Amino acid sequence: MLTRHSTRNITRPAKATKDWLKERITALALIPLTVWFACFLARLPATSARELPEWLSRPLHSLPLLAFIFISAYHAELGLHAVMDDYVHGPRIKGCGLLVIRLALLGVLLLSAIALFSLYQTH
């Protein structure tokens, strides 16, 4: 019999369906953003440390980057959740893992947004 303890951190079917759909919707949005981000990375070595903050201070550049970071982080949360579902079985350690992942990704979002906003303000 499934006890309350053993069902903790097992995804409910209705939520699983929603997560499945969210993973696909974020994946679709990430296709063009990935190409943008890959080209951004590829051009970093030729961009000087003085040029880059200036370039990123323009919303035309920072907004696509922020969109990539936000949607990637959301997509990563869904993906890492699925990986945890498959390999991590203790309910307590899984709960801790999910919390760590969520906090780390939330930190990624907040700190990136703050950094980009301050570049926007200082340039």
CA distance 1 to 70: 40
Q: Give the residue, chosen from 9, 22, 45, 81, that forms a contact with other proteins under the rule CB under 8 A.
A: 45
Which token pair is 17?
Answer: 């369906």
Query: For residues 79-118, which are near other proteins according to CB under 8 A?
Result: 79-80, 83, 104-105, 107-108, 111-112, 114-116, 118
27 binds other proteins (CB under 8 A): yes
Smallest gap from residue 5 Cβ to other proteins (A): 25
Name the site residues for other proteins (rule: CB under 8 A). Answer: 24, 27-28, 30-31, 34-49, 51-56, 60-61, 69, 72-73, 76, 79-80, 83, 104-105, 107-108, 111-112, 114-116, 118-119, 122
